[in-house]
Amino acid sequence: MPSINNNKVQNFLFSFSFMILLSSCSSMNVTEERVYEGGIKTVEVSVAEVDELDYETKAIFANATVFFEFDSYNLTSKSIQTLKSVVSVMNQNKNIKITLAGHADERGTREYNLALGQRRAESVKDYFILNGINSSKVSVKSYGEERPVASGNDEMSYSKNRRVEIN
């Protein structure tokens, strides 16, 4: 058991509620208070439509997803094979711009996974830049563990979710 500071009843005063405390004698507390119920407003977000890529560009990159080990953002040799083919396509089509979306599996904390997804996407971006792609053609973002493609709670699903999608 941790020790806990004894909170004095007198400290209860809050700007939006009130409480009158009268200590009639040392052994009895007399209190009066009013229930505070502040208003609550619901906000609905209108989600911006995502810019759709034209059909041809989309077809080229449809299968470009690379996968990672748990808590890792290192590119595997299989990933590098995939990225090599993306680089050659980009060299042939100088107008193509790509977005790298990093993802993580559901294990571990959400914010760490968001940062991990970002690191994975940055690893892919670094590879592209090292291979001559202009950094202005590559944008990077992360969804962390929020957008799984496989919903199972097993390593098979997890391995599919630890990925960077190239679009």
Which residues here bind another protein, judged by CB under 8 A? 1-7, 9, 12, 14-17, 19, 27-48, 50, 71, 106-112, 114-116, 118-119, 122, 125, 140-144, 146-147, 151-153
Smallest separation (angstroms) from another protein to the CB of 58: 17
Give residue 65's Cα distance to chain centre: 18
140 is written with which tokens? Answer: 């990077």
d(CA 115, CA 104): 9
3-state SS track over 120-148: HHHHHHHHHHHCCCCHHHEEEEEEECCCC
Residue 48 vs 156, nearer CB to another protein: 48
Q: Which residues contact 61 (CB under 8 A, 6 or more apart)?
A: 86, 89, 98, 166, 167
Smallest separation (angstroms) from another protein to the CB of 107: 6
Smallest separation (angstroms) from another protein to the CB of 99: 9
d(CA 113, CA 45): 24
Residue 2 vs 132, nearer CB to another protein: 2
Residue 50 vs 54, nearer CB to another protein: 50
Smallest separation (angstroms) from another protein to the CB of 92: 27
Residue 50 vs 130, nearer CB to another protein: 50
